Chain A
């Protein structure tokens, strides 16, 4: 079946604009995660969704970041009033559940560049 799909693959925008990133998880995967990797840094956890439970937003770096997920399907990550430090590769992952032995399946990412 299809893997995790992210769009757009690349996004260049001016500082101060809002951007919306999309993630389609693998069908049947109840858990969905957003991560980002800034230049020279490791992958950084942003937010986690599990089924219909309230998301864990503990990794969001500021209130300019928000994310939604419709049921157990598509998720969107929105960054308002973008800043240059938001430039990063944003990765989405999904897994069958939240058991610690469940691997996370990643999309190809969205490379976001803020001018």
Chain B
């Protein structure tokens, strides 16, 4: 079992605030780092798959960075909206199956 840690566990922000979460993972035997968004009563939705050290990916107001040497990734949300409320999961791929963190639960209130 590979340790994937996410922080904070939960976050409550106001609409319009920008926010970021952290994912830390083992820096050895790295294959890929995945970010998913999981809204209540829906299925987890893939946001990013990152494979290269220094990678930075962007999807609308959401972006992510990757540091494989020190074993961390940041997810940023710019100008949070209520529809961004969800649990954000990161997962470390060490072969094929994903090792998930427990997630960061984000609540954005108007």
Contact = CB atoms under 8 A, between A and B. Distances in A.
Contact of A104 (B95, B98, B101, B102): B98
Interface residues of B, number: 25
The dominant DSSP class at the A interface is loop
Interface of A: 3-4, 31, 33, 35, 40-45, 48, 50, 56, 59, 91, 98, 100-109
Most buried by A among B45, B97, B99: B97
B32 A101 contact: yes
Contacts, number: 59
Interface of B: 4, 31-32, 34, 36, 41-46, 49, 51, 89, 91, 93, 95-103
A100 B97 contact: no
B42 A33 contact: no
